[in-house]
Structure 1
Amino acid sequence: MNQSEKKAKNFEIIMKNLIAGGVAGMCSKTTVAPLDRIKILLQAQHEYYKHLGVFSGLKEVVQRESFLALYKGNLVQMIRAVPYAAIQFTAFEQYKKRLGKFFQQGSHIDGFLAGAAGGVTAAAITYPLDTIRARLAFQVTSNTLYSGIKHAAVRMFKEEGGLRALYRGFWPNMLGMIPYAGFSFYTFEKLKYLCLKYAPHYLYSEHKTTGNFILNIPAKLLCGGAAGAVAHTFSYPLDVTKRRMQLAMMNPTTHKYASGMLSTLKMIYTENGIVKGLYRGMSINFLRAIPFMAVGFAMYEVTKQMLDLDTGSSERIYYVYIRMIV
């Protein structure tokens, strides 16, 4: 294979990873959209919902607004989720491919670093859409500040200090992304290895087209869900901090949270403590994280297989090992 053919092949792989990541992001975000909205309302302690729980909050949204209100902000979420997931998964594969040269096979350190780097790359590019989506999801029908994506972006840019307004909360998001993305990808890869090592006959099946052994759907969901639970536990306080900063300018009483990451963290802890402050909404986050990560990882892996990417860099060591023991 000459140089031009190698470049063409690499481009094809990147495009297929983009498609697989985009499909995964769209499916996973749509699945948990109602939980996403109530999580934002609880994290930032909206006046109508701060005293409610997960299910009572969902019920209140439907009664106060409408059933479709559960999906408020989902359009911009889709606009963000597809490129975000596509960039994250594609960057992960590319980083892992290059980092693998520096680490011993089976160490999984390259998987952790690649996951963190992929998450940071995707978040940095799509962060303004995340801020706009949070603003749209936080407002209620009786108190609407923004009529849509464009209106929110223009108003924030003009009234809140230009591009800086769209990136408010960026640093806690970046710092939280490292353990979140790192532990999610690391845990998923580690669990795949453990499934292969201890239960290959039950959790792996043979691909009809390629003949390679791959994780079956239940195993993908299990590994993805566990990866989401682990990752969110480490990164959640920074996620709460990010949301407070993103939504700070929507109400005069919360302007104080726009001052900076460390001061916001301190105020949340001082005012509400750890459980009701830094981990506010954590229960719904677990409810959300498990199906989100499960559907995301499962759809990514299924789409990769449909696009003949099932024997990529993240699978090769497991494929070789399973051939030896089955």
Structure 2
Amino acid sequence: MFRFLRGLVLPEAACEEANSSSRYENLFKKLDLNEDGRVDIAELHAGLKALGIPLGKDAEEKIFKTGDSNKDGQLDFKEFMQYLKDHEKKMKLAFRSLDKNNDGKIEASEIVQSLKILGINISEQQAEKILKSIDADGTMTVDWNEWRDHFLFNPATDIEEIIRYWKHSTVLDIGDSLTIPDEFTEEEKKSGQWWRQLLSGGVAGAVSRTGTAPLDRLKVMMQVHGSKSNKMNISSGLKQMVKEGGVRSLWRGNGVNVIKIAPETAIKFWAYEQYKKIFANEDGKIGTVERFVSGSLAGATAQTSIYPMEVLKTRLAVGKTGQYSGMFDCAKKIFKREGLKAFYKGYVPNILGIIPYAGIDLAVYEALKTAWLDHYASDSANPGVFVLLGCGTVSSTCGQLASYPLALIRTRMQAQALLEGAPQLNMVGLFQRIIANEGILGLYRGIGPNFMKVLPAVSISYVVYEKMKQNLGIA
């Protein structure tokens, strides 16, 4: 489609600065469908669609937000020309950042090198597919004209933003907070977009966790009470909880689970930025391994800070009706009976679980991304929403599967004091006892409801996240 644009409204002479005004004027006339000297967003949408450049509502709105200097809802020729000139300058910087050998052309090896610096590993064959979607003359290299024409109406402003759709987003909240923190560009940090995205993700996580809270509490009950003698399953577990405390009891412990999202997200984001600075090289760049280590350490820092709330959530979920009047009553009773150290029971397996979870999560995501690029990226390197959601869901599920035994041990240690007559075992002792009495499958008690909540949790969190972004003006 960009070859069509290149031949129709961006002739070869357009690369000369002297002809830029006539080039913009030619293009403006193509978009000004009612010939009134102004282009509104409907005309932009229809005009670009007619030229074979369907951008989508979000990109078009971003162009108007940037270019409409007098905020009258229309772009006159002066505003249109100024937007494209400013955008070309940004595209020039992005082009130069990719053109490592300064020969005026981008090659596959340069794309591989640049994306590796940004923490994204792809093969040279995959880079060639990305090039192919931009290359207009079939040379398997991209010169400035081809680059400019391809991204002329793409509101992305730098190379990080252009490849951002392949970033492993942590928006998908499936109830466990062991993921690598989200990462933001310098522009997003300066504009304040980072906190809007974090807020959107936090609200999405709160709604998602509330929607799947009954399954989450059922998982905890099966982890703590399930055994060979007590064959609690999904149906009997739900009936038992409703019988004991009514329908409201299905959400017991959810308040703490929602409240801890905000401090954990904030601490994780702050710690991630600090650890990245420590591991960055002299140029301020950070590689994939360093990014993973920084993320894991940030997760450990956040978990350490909010871990007492994890214990409160488990105690409230496992507790009987009337045992605790709320979160503060629960905290007071635990402190009075067991002391301060009770708030860190299960801490070691919880921290150890971060490594397999984050490691498997990222590894599976990279493998799925690579498979998609190899087999399906024919015209574009952009995978689209559903591919990313699928990759994120599968990789998060695999991460949970890898770390689940440690999560079960953590929950048992947190709840041991509530089980009358049960010995107070440490992590190794619990592992040995579960394997001796229940076998390897005993380490996976409660994984059924855990997997059942993944699809609704992902769906809810994604929909709410997108709605929140729209309301905060970052869609």
Specify the TM-score bucket, using the shorter chain as the normaliser. Answer: 0.7 to 0.9
Q: Name the counterpart of 1:253.
A: 421
Q: Is the 8 A contact 1:227 1:293 kept in 2?
A: no
Confirm whether residue 44 of structure 1 aligns to residue 224 of structure 2. Answer: yes
Q: Is the 8 A contact 1:112 1:186 kept in 2?
A: no
- Which of residues 325, 339, 353 is equivalent to 1:176? 353
Q: Is the 8 A contact 1:46 1:138 kept in 2?
A: no
Give the match's secondary structure for 2:225: coil
Give the match's secondary structure for 2:453: helix
Give the match's secondary structure for 1:147: coil
Q: Name the counterpart of 2:209.
A: 29
Structure 1 counterpart of 2:337, which letter? E
Q: Distance in 2 between matches of 1:186 and 1:74?
A: 31
- Which of residues 199, 211, 224 is equivalent to 2:376? 199
Q: Is the 8 A contact 1:229 1:286 kept in 2?
A: yes
Q: Distance in 1 between matches of 2:291 and 2:315?
A: 33
Cα deviations by residue, 1:30-74 (Å, 9 ceiling, x for unpaired): 232111100000000169x94221133223323443222111111
Extract unaligned runs of 5+ from structure 2.
1-185
Q: Name the counterpart of 2:410.
A: 242
Q: Whose helix proportion is higher, 1 or 2?
A: 1
TM-score, structure 1 length as denominator?
Answer: 0.73
Structure 1 counterpart of 2:392, which letter? G
Q: Distance in 2 between matches of 1:193 and 1:98?
A: 30
Structure 1 counterpart of 2:438, which letter? N
Q: Is the 8 A contact 1:38 1:57 kept in 2?
A: yes
Q: Distance in 1 between matches of 2:278 and 2:462?
A: 22
Q: Distance in 1 between matches of 2:291 and 2:456?
A: 22
Q: Is the 8 A contact 1:229 1:289 kept in 2?
A: yes
Give the match's secondary structure for 2:323: coil
- Which of residues 195, 214, 226 is equivalent to 1:15? 195
Q: Is the 8 A contact 2:252 2:316 kept in 1?
A: yes
Distance 1:8 1:112, change over 3 A: closer
Q: Distance in 2 between matches of 1:159 and 1:252?
A: 14
- Which of residues 247, 255, 273 is equivalent to 1:67? 247
Give the match's secondary structure for 1:252: coil
- What are the residue-to-residue correspondences of 1:113-262 with 2, within 5 Å? 113-141=293-321, 144-161=322-339, 163-188=340-365, 190-192=367-369, 194-200=371-377, 215-216=384-385, 218-254=386-422, 256=423, 258-262=424-428
Q: Name the counterpart of 2:440.
A: 274
- CA deviation after TM superposition for structure 1 residue 293, in Å: 5.3
Identity of counterpart residues, as a percentage?
Answer: 34
Distance 1:20 1:202, change over 3 A: farther
Of stretches 296-305 and 64-73 in structure 1, the one that deviates more from structure 2 is 296-305
Q: Distance in 1 between matches of 2:349 and 2:204?
A: 25
- CA deviation after TM superposition for structure 1 residue 273, in Å: 1.6
Distance 1:307 1:101, change over 3 A: farther
Q: Is the 8 A contact 1:192 1:215 kept in 2?
A: no
> Which of the pair has the greater relative contact order for Cα pairs under 8 Å at 6+ separation?
1
Give the match's secondary structure for 1:238: helix
Aligned residue pairs total 288
Q: Is the 8 A contact 1:170 1:242 kept in 2?
A: yes
Of stretches 27-36 and 179-188 in structure 1, the one that deviates more from structure 2 is 179-188
Distance 1:9 1:235, change over 3 A: closer
Give the match's secondary structure for 1:259: coil
- CA deviation after TM superposition for structure 1 residue 11, in Å: 8.7
Cα RMSD, aligned residues only? 3.8
Give the match's secondary structure for 1:140: coil
Higher-Rg member (1/2): 2
Cα deviations by residue, 1:230-253 (Å, 9 ceiling, x for unpaired): 101111111111111100111232
Q: Distance in 2 between matches of 1:199 and 1:125?
A: 43
Q: Distance in 2 between matches of 1:28 and 1:303?
A: 13
Give the match's secondary structure for 1:52: coil
Structure 2 counterpart of 1:287, which letter? M
TM-score, structure 2 length as denominator?
Answer: 0.52
- CA deviation after TM superposition for structure 1 residue 100, in Å: 7.0
Q: Distance in 1 between matches of 2:216 and 2:316?
A: 12
- CA deviation after TM superposition for structure 1 residue 101, in Å: 5.2
